[in-house]
Amino acid sequence: MPDLILDVTSGLVKNLSLPATGSDAANKTYVDTELSAVVGSELAYIKINSTGTSASATSTDGIAIGEGAIANGPTNSVAIGPAVSNGASNSVKIGSSNTNYMFLGSEADLTLYDGSSSTSTSIFVTGTATNIDLTLVPKGTGIINASSKRITSVADPTAAQDAATKNYVDTTTTANPIYVAIAGDTMTGLLTLSGDPSANLHAATKQYVDTTTQPLDSDLSALAGLATTGVVVRTSTGTAATRTITGTTNRIVVTNGSGVSGDPILDIGTDVVTLTSTQVLTNKTLSDSTTFFQNQTDTTKKLQFELSSITTATTRTLTVPNASGTIALTSDTTLTYFKANSTGTAASASGTDAIAIGEGASATQTNSVAIGPAVTNTIANTVRIGSSNTNYCELSSSANLALYDGTGGTSTSVSVVGTATNINLSLVPKGAGIIETTSTIQPSADNTYNLGSPSRRWATMYGVSTSSLYADLAERYEADEELESGTVVVFGGEKEITMCKKSNDTAVAGVISTNPGFRMNDHAGSDQTHPLVALKGKVPCKIVGPIKKGDLIVTSDCPGHGTSAGKVAEPYTAFARAIEDFNGMVGVILVGII
Both 564 and 480 in a single domain?
Answer: yes
Amino acid (1-letter code) at residue 290: T
In a domain, 153, yes or no: no
Q: Which of 411, 426, 445 is the last residue of a domain?
A: 411
| Mean pLDDT within 193-218 | 76
- Residue 92: beta bridge partners? 78, 104
Write the burial class of residue 496 (CB in 10 Å: 0-12 exposed, 13-18 middle, 19+ buried): middle
Residue 49, phi-psi category: left (phi > 0), alpha (psi -120 to 50), beta (remainder): beta
pLDDT of 409 above 90? no
pLDDT band at 505 (very low <50, low <70, confident <90, very high): very high
Among candidate residues 573, 508, 8, 499, the one with its CA nearest the CA of residue 564? 573
pLDDT at 524: 92
Q: What is the pLDDT of residues 36-78, one digit of tens each?
A: 654 444 443 444 446 678 888 888 888 888 888 898 988 989 8
pLDDT band at 343 (very low <50, low <70, confident <90, very high): low
Among candidate residues 43, 48, 67, 70, the one with its CA nearest the CA of residue 59? 70
Share of residues in the chain with pLDDT > 70 (%): 67
Q: Which of 105, 120, 135 is the last residue of a domain?
A: 120
Share of residues in the chain with pLDDT > 90 (%): 23
Residue 506 belongs to domain with CATH number: 2.40.300.10
pLDDT at 304: 73
pLDDT at 413: 53
pLDDT at 42: 46
Q: Is pLDDT larger for residue 30 or for residue 411?
A: 30
pLDDT at 340: 47
| Mean pLDDT within 533-561 | 97
pLDDT of 157 above 80? yes
Both 407 and 478 in a single domain?
Answer: no
Range name among 166-170, 201-205, 531-535 with the lowest pLDDT average: 166-170
> Strand, helix or coil at 281?
coil
State how far the Cα of 193 lies from the Cα of 182, in Å rounded to an integer: 18
In a domain, 254, yes or no: no
Q: Is pLDDT larger for residue 320 or for residue 190?
A: 190
Q: Going along 391-487, which residue ranges are E strands?
A: 391-395, 401-404, 410-411, 473-476
Full residue range of the structural domain in which residue 78 is found: 46-120
State how far the Cα of 476 lies from the Cα of 527, in Å rounded to an integer: 8
Both 493 and 575 in a single domain?
Answer: yes
In a domain, 451, yes or no: no
pLDDT at 585: 95
In a domain, 87, yes or no: yes
Q: Is pLDDT larger for residue 289 or for residue 577?
A: 577
pLDDT at 428: 73
Q: What is the pLDDT of residues 322-337, one digit of tens each?
A: 666 566 555 544 444 4
Q: pTM for this one?
A: 0.37
pLDDT at 8: 66
Please answer whether residues 225 and 232 qualify as being in contact, where contact means their C-beta atoms are separated by less than 8 angstroms. no
Range name among 10-19, 410-419, 483-492, 566-575 with the lowest pLDDT average: 410-419
> Strand, helix or coil at 355?
strand
In a domain, 523, yes or no: yes
In a domain, 52, yes or no: yes
Q: Is pLDDT larger for residue 491 or for residue 439?
A: 491
In a domain, 483, yes or no: yes
Q: Is pLDDT larger for residue 301 or for residue 179?
A: 301
Q: Is pLDDT larger for residue 564 or for residue 68?
A: 564
In a domain, 16, yes or no: no
Q: Which of 384, 411, 438 is the last residue of a domain?
A: 411
| Mean pLDDT within 136-145 | 73
pLDDT at 245: 65
Write the burial class of residue 470 (CB in 10 Å: 0-12 exposed, 13-18 middle, 19+ buried): middle
Total domain count for the chain? 3
pLDDT at 19: 82
Q: Is pLDDT larger for residue 219 or for residue 488?
A: 488
Both 504 and 406 in a single domain?
Answer: no
pLDDT at 259: 44
DSSP, res 60: B
State how far the Cα of 407 lies from the Cα of 388, in Å rounded to an integer: 11
Q: What is the pLDDT of residues 2-31, one digit of tens each?
A: 666 667 677 677 777 788 887 777 777 777
Both 582 and 499 in a single domain?
Answer: yes
State how far the Cα of 199 lies from the Cα of 182, in Å rounded to an integer: 19
pLDDT of 121 above 70? no
Q: What is the pLDDT of residues 227-248, one digit of tens each?
A: 666 667 766 766 767 776 666 5
For residue 252, give the H/E element and its range.
Answer: strand 251-255
Both 585 and 482 in a single domain?
Answer: yes
